[in-house]
Amino acid sequence: MAGILKLLVSRLTVHTLDQAKRIIRIVIGFTLLIIGIALIVLPGPATLVIPAGLAILAGEFVWARKLLKKFNSGVSHGLRLFRRKRKRAR
pLDDT at 36: 93
For the entire predicted model, the pTM comes to 0.70
pLDDT along the chain (90 residues), means of 10: 69 74 92 94 90 93 92 85 78
pLDDT at 79: 83
pLDDT at 17: 79
pLDDT at 81: 84
pLDDT at 1: 64
C-beta separation of 26 from 18 below 8 A: no
- From CA 60, how far away is CA 68, in angstroms rounded? 13
- Residue ranges covered by each domain of the chain: 18-89
